[in-house]
A and B are shown apart, each in its own frame.
Chain A
Amino acid sequence: MAHVVLRNITKRFGQVVAVDNLCLEIPRGQCISLLGPSGCGKTTTLRMLAGFEDLDEGEILVGDRVISSSLKRYYLPPEKRDFGMVFQAFAVWPHLSVFDNVAFPLQIRGLGRAEIREKTTTALTYTGLLDVRDSYPNELSGGQKQRIALARSISFNPTVMLLDEPLSNLDPKMREVMRFEIKELQKRFNFTIIYVTHDQAEAMALSDRIVVMDYGAKVQQDDTPLNVYHRPANKFVFGFIGLSNFLQVEAADGGTYLAGAREAGPIGGERPPQALGATPTLACRPGEIELLRDGGVRGLIARRTLLGDIVDYRVRVGAQEVRVQRSVRQPLFEEGAACGLRFTRLHWYA
């Protein structure tokens, strides 16, 4: 049974439709990511869930309880929703110690001293903050500050956790560590996570389910991380997740060629579906193209960049440039050298 339900929600800011008739059902204990470019409406959606924004249309339910409804003009205030929430900016009280920060929601709820101590200690333990419980936030790193925010939001055992780009202000290493920690916390406490991010790696690593959105919070694909990556529903999703090439092709003599580069040779592999018309777009990942000495679609290495483990090539074929990424352990090609491209996986879009 769905735990959180968004039913046809719409939000306008003046002329701009920030969220356009969005429907989502989120089962209990699921970690769902709302992924999309900045300004696509994902944060607005989260803020409506939190109760910071009213709805222009639609309603939001938790369990069978309506918490926001445009029709009934009913909005449960954020302080009554019992949601945990972590913000991108570190929302920690500078005037309180780590312990008092984490105890804050419990004190607000008027719990007894012993219970506050116990629950706070539990939250501190699971977030690895027990040793710094007497420190003040300004003595701690960004990662630690965000841990405080996390500990505070779990201290009162919420069933729904809203995360608004919580790792975006952290350095890349800390970001990876925290991903695992959030995942661990979820396993332990089994809350439903709604995670807003524009970072696809983060969404991939954390979620059971990814909702890719375009402007207006229009859902482009709602699927498992694996499917979103390997079976993108459309060009937008393909372009948004991971690296991508979009290439123009043309058909001739029963073969498919890169547009204007028939002399380079046919692409081979599966033909574009007829339904896509005369000029379909070929989408492919830079990692799904092999570089050959002989054969394949002939091109010239225009640029080569070493990215540590990976070598990034820009290969010129006719008027188009194809991005290819190979492992450093494979034969290297020099800039200006001739090469052949073999496309191992093709995605066709209109």
Chain B
Amino acid sequence: MSSQSGRIGKARRRWAQTLRPYAYILPTFVFLFIFTHWPILRTFYVSFFKWNMASPTMEFVGAANYVQAWKTPLFWQVLGNNLLFAAGTVPLTLAVALALALLINQKIRGLALYRALLFYPTMIPMAAAAMIWLWILTPNYGLLNYYGKWLGLPDVHWLGHSTLALWALVLVGVWKRVGYYMVIYLAGLQVIPEHLYEAARIEGAGPWQRFWKVTFPLVSPTTFFVGVMAVIDAFQAIDQVYLMTGGGPGNATNLFIFYIYQNAFRFFDFGYGSAISAILFLILLALTLLAFRTLHRKVHYA
């Protein structure tokens, strides 16, 4: 009898052991589920319906919303715009962030001030940044054109130009995020031990060679992280589109999230909005997996 109760006690203890870690992560999981996982699942679900959000009934339409995306030229244009936007922002952000981090990672006077100045665009809201840039880029009295005229350059309507407008947004995107990634790069650079640079020097490596043969490979974990985050950033850009161009001229600067917003919250086509959200989710998932599968092999941890 006593041995049996002992066995039961042991089994119970084992159960408690198994369950305890789950109990610890439960609070986090509850919130993640409510605010992240459930909306994702719900988006996939809604994407198979026709629904205007107000109506109490949802009409099941199968894959019709996905077919609609496939057949809509604007969907492809938006996708193209966003790929171009990513192709512009990601390498530029990486290069400038690393360059700034290298400059900041030196013993110079007033370092804290420079660091704060470079980080400051990260701290102001995108809406405020968009207003600043709107003014800089405005034709005639905008800052850029004002100084451009001094140099004898023609007056350019940056945000009204069918190709330049997207690059203006790229510029703003890079400017806004580069300080943040600079700080991450700075942390990455400071992990590289000094004696590796000294060894490289004594073995004959000049500054250029030290950068390419020591810094660049050894900061690759940061580059990988920043790269993945910058791609995700590029596909999440909406504020500057909304505030600076409204997706125009034409649809030249219409990016994915803005397109989703238009369809779901302006045209109240919630089913279609959900479908293209799901597509974006899958695109980002695929890109991230691809990055981990291919590039991650080139990442070296010092």
- Rounded to whole Å, the gap between the CB of B192 and the closest CB of chain A is 10
Contact B198 A108 (CB under 8 A): no
B285-302 residues with Cβ-Cβ distance < 8 A to A are 300-302
Q: Which residue of B lies closest to A96 (CB)?
A: B217
A86-111 residues with Cβ-Cβ distance < 8 A to B are 87, 89, 91, 93-95, 104-105, 108-109
Contact A79 B302 (CB under 8 A): no
CB of A156 within 8 Å of the partner chain: yes
Bitwise, B188-217 to A at CB < 8 A (1) or not (0) is 000001011011111111100100011001
Alpha-carbon distance between A313 and B120 when the two chains are bound, in angstroms: 68
Contact B196 A93 (CB under 8 A): yes
CB of A29 within 8 Å of the partner chain: no
Contact B199 A79 (CB under 8 A): no
Contact A108 B196 (CB under 8 A): no
Q: Is the interface of B mostly helix, strand, loop or mixed?
A: helix
A33-75 residues with Cβ-Cβ distance < 8 A to B are 50-52
A interface bracket (residues with beta carbon within 8 Å of B): 20 to 34
Q: Which residue of A lies closest to B214 (CB)?
A: A93
Contact A79 B213 (CB under 8 A): no
Q: Total interface residues on B, using CB and 8 Å?
A: 21
* B residues near A80, Cβ cutoff 8 Å: 204
Contact A83 B202 (CB under 8 A): yes
* A residues near B199, Cβ cutoff 8 Å: 85, 87, 91, 149, 152
* A residues near B302, Cβ cutoff 8 Å: 94
* A residues near B205, Cβ cutoff 8 Å: 79, 108
* B residues near A84, Cβ cutoff 8 Å: 202
Of the listed residues B195, B206, B209, B214, the one surrounded by the most CB atoms of chain A closer than 10 A to its CB is B195
Contact B196 A85 (CB under 8 A): no
- Rounded to whole Å, the gap between the CB of B202 and the closest CB of chain A is 4
CB of B218 within 8 Å of the partner chain: yes
Contact B218 A79 (CB under 8 A): no
Q: Which residue of A lies closest to B217 (CB)?
A: A95
Q: Which residue of A lies closest to B209 (CB)?
A: A108
User: Which of B198, B204, B214, B301 contacts A87, CB < 8 Å?
Assistant: B198
Q: Given A89-B193, A91-B198, A95-B300, A153–B217 Cβ distance below 8 Å?
A: no
- Rounded to whole Å, the gap between the CB of A18 and the closest CB of chain B is 17
Alpha-carbon distance between A77 and B204 when the two chains are bound, in angstroms: 9
Q: Which residue of A lies closest to B206 (CB)?
A: A79
Contact A94 B301 (CB under 8 A): yes
Alpha-carbon distance between A36 and B281 when the two chains are bound, in angstroms: 63
* B residues near A105, Cβ cutoff 8 Å: 203-204
* A residues near B220, Cβ cutoff 8 Å: 95
Binding site for B on A (CB under 8 A): 50-52, 77-85, 87, 89, 91, 93-95, 104-105, 108-109, 149, 152-153, 156, 162
